[in-house]
Amino acid sequence: MEGMRPVDGMRVDVLEYCRVLASQLRLAGLPESRVRVVVQDVLAHVEATGEDPVEAFGQPTDYAAQWARPPGVLRVLGLMVATAVAFPGFWLVFTAFTSPAPWAGAVPVTPFLVSMVVGTAVAGAVQPWTVGLWLERRAGRRVGRGRSPLDAVVAALTWAVLIVLTLVVVQRVLKPDGDGRTLFSVPRRVLLAVGLGGMALSFVLPSPGVQTMPRSPADHRSWWARVRSLLAGTGNRRRF
Amino acid sequence: MLGGMGEVVRPDRESQWLKGVLDLAVLAVLAREGSAYGYSLLRSLADAGLPGLRGGTVYPLLGRLEDDGLVQSEWTVADGAPARRYFALTPAGRQVLAEGRDGWSSFADRMTRALEV
């Protein structure tokens, strides 16, 4: 399938195309080094020919499928579980730093903390890897056709339903009534280590909706040189 | 669309034929030209009688040929222009091209005989 063509007279921005394409390739599990090459080929081709990227390559979802199979059920479930483990890391680190317990002592785990961790895990993992993934694949078939208002409505409604459901379940099951009960205690360093591990994992996991431009494969600068370039305000210039 | 012998060829049939041998056509262009980047390769294929091919067809094919070790690529950077990937044939690619050329000649001869009325 070639996918939807752009609206007549509407030229697709090649950088937007490449960002959406990169997102589709990452979700399919293509290594980042390969993502860079595929995207750079598109950029160089469009620059050389002046062609519309959708005309030359098809919609990003369809072109990405030529490089890697779309994510299957097992991959999506695995990523959902990994996100559920990683996402609450922020809460754990926050709690480890702000708990009033002595620094060398154990941090009391309250029903409130458990609620927040469970709620964050469920909401942070379920929405992106169900409706979020569907919306992302839909966006990858609509480049050049403008954003659909329906997508924004679906995303907002899903989040609202998920948050309300999570709050209801947490209230019914854990009853975090703020009475200061301690379910159990965890050494602060353990909480911090688990939280930092989760945060690190969440940075490397792909996520639907995150559309960042990959680095050029011809850019052989060290990571430090790239950071300096970013700080100097030249990091986002095209180095393709 | 007119075929080589003047008959009308259905476009979908011709694209089916092409699917099986496009890799050989790409290898042959690289053998003739030494090296080429994506767009120049498409132009050479058009000049050789295969117009209308899109980037979305040729780049994944080049990727597969590179994975199979039949071509190699190198990035070149020019000021103000996006980096370009130049492709060149490997010795393995040259061998596959030679075998493919022989195989195609033999197949085309047999097919021509099979189609005689």
Confidence label for B5 from pLDDT (cuts 50, 70 and 90): very low
Is B82 close to A217, i.e. CB distance below 8 A?
Answer: no
Using the predicted structure, report yes or no on whether residue A193 has a pLDDT greater than 80: yes
Cβ–Cβ < 8 Å for A219, A110: no
Residues A135 and A232 in one domain: no
Say what the pLDDT of residue A150 is. Answer: 86
User: Residue B10: is its pLDDT beyond 80?
Assistant: no
Do A78 and A164 share a domain, yes or no?
A: yes
B59–A40 C-beta distance less than 8 A: no
**For position A124, what pLDDT does the model report?**
82
Which residues fall within 8 angstroms of residue B58, CB to CB, at 6 or more apart? Answer: B26, B38, B41, B42, B45
Are A223 and A151 in a shared domain? no
| CB-CB contact of B64 with A67 (8 Å) | no
Range of the domain at B57: 11-115
Whether residues A76 and A65 fall in one domain = no
**Rounded mean pLDDT of A81-95?**
89
Q: Of A79, A211, A75, A60, which Cα lies nearest the Cα of A144?
A: A60
Of residues A40, A45, A67, nearest to B55 (C-beta): A45
* Residue B25 in this model has a pLDDT that exceeds 90: yes
Q: Per the domain annotation, does B2 fall within a domain?
A: no
| Residue of B41, B76, B84 to mutate, interface with A, max A Cβ within 10 Å | B84
Mean of per-residue pLDDT scores for chain A:
83
| Higher per-residue confidence, A149 vs A67 | A67
CATH value at residue B24: 1.10.10.10
Question: What share of chain A has pLDDT > 90, as a percent?
Answer: 31
Q: Are both A121 and A204 inside the same structural domain?
A: yes
The residue of A45, A62, A67 whose CB has the most chain B CBs within 10 angstroms, and thus the best one to mutate to test that interface, is A45
- Which residue on chain B is closest to A39 by alpha carbon? B59
B58: nearest Cα among A5, A58, A68: A58
Q: How many domains does chain B fold into?
A: 1
Give pLDDT, residue B2.
Answer: 40
Domain that holds residue A53: 1-70+212-240
**Chain B stretch 38-97, residues whose beta carbon is closer than 8 A to a beta carbon of chain A:** 38-39, 54-56, 59-60, 63, 75-77, 81-85
Q: What is the pLDDT of residues B58-76, one digit of tens each?
A: 999 999 999 999 999 999 8
For residue B88, tell me if it sits in a domain. Answer: yes
Neighbouring C-beta atoms of residue B30, cutoff 10 Å:
26
For residue B5, being part of any structural domain is answered with no
Tell which residue, B102, B30, B31, has the closest CA to residue B62: B30
pLDDT tier at A18, thresholds 50, 70, 90: very high
**Contact (CB<8Å) A41/B59:** yes
Secondary structure of residue B2 in the 3-state scheme: strand
Please report which confidence band the pLDDT of residue A10 belongs to, taking 50, 70 and 90 as the band edges. low
